[in-house]
Amino acid sequence: MLTLLLSIGCSSSVTENVAKHSTKEGEQLYYTIGGQAGIERLVNAFVKRIAQDQVILPYFAKSSVKHFKQGFINHLCATVNGPCKYTGDTMIDIHTGMNINEGDFNHVVELLILAMEDVGISYQSQNKILAKLAPLRAKIIKI
Ligand code: HEM
């Protein structure tokens, strides 16, 4: 399914930052997508996409957007090996009880892909980010 999602509209036009930093093992992706500012741009675009989506928005009915944004920024930064530490609850603890099914999980991934398109992240970097998030699927979908 992820492969299928990866094929959805992924032509990117904006040139990414050429990372000039000396990077720790695996940290390159963080700089390629624009570092902290790039991640904040992406998460802002993602939240906008969620806010316009009638299927996913209800999940966030009782959530603080500010708290979600901050948590997601830190989590994503750590996921792409940036210099951040995610200190929030585990993916299992956060999402247990939301009864997220596979369709809605895939839908959120699609919104993330659209947000990556919105901010001009290249197809190659999109795939790297999605590959890092893919193992979380089993922790988020209801068993
Ligand atoms: C790879 C996919 C996903 C990742 C990496 C992810 C990650 C996160 C993170 C980091 C937070 C904030 C944690 C914090 O409190 O600091 C969060 C919260 C949340 N997530 Fe996810 N999530 C994913 C998929 C989903 C899906 C598919 C849904 C629903 C369809 C969802 C619904 C929520 C909601 C409603 C909250 C806010 C919870 C609250 O108000 O405390 N997430 N998620």
Q: Which ligand 1 atom is at minimum distance from the Cα of 141?
A: 27
As a whole number, the mean pLDDT across the chain is 88
Residues with CB under 6 A from ligand 1: 56, 59-60, 63, 67-68, 71-72, 75, 88-89, 94-95, 98, 100, 104-105, 108, 133, 136, 140
Q: What band does 22 get if pLDDT is binned at 50, 70 and 90?
A: low
- Exposure letters 87-115 (e unless 16+ CB within 10 A, then b): eeeebeeebeeeebeeebbbbbbbbbbbb
Domains by residue range for the chain, with CATH: 25-140 (1.10.490.10)
Q: How far is the CA of 41 from the centre of ligand 1 (A)?
A: 18
User: Hunting for tokens 């695996």 — which residue is that?
Assistant: 26
For 64-81, write each residue's pLDDT tens digit: 999 999 999 999 999 999
Smallest CA separation from ligand 1 atom 34, residue: 60
pTM: 0.88
- For residue 24, the one-letter residue type is K
**What ipTM was estimated for this complex?**
0.96
**How many residues are recorded in the chain?**
143
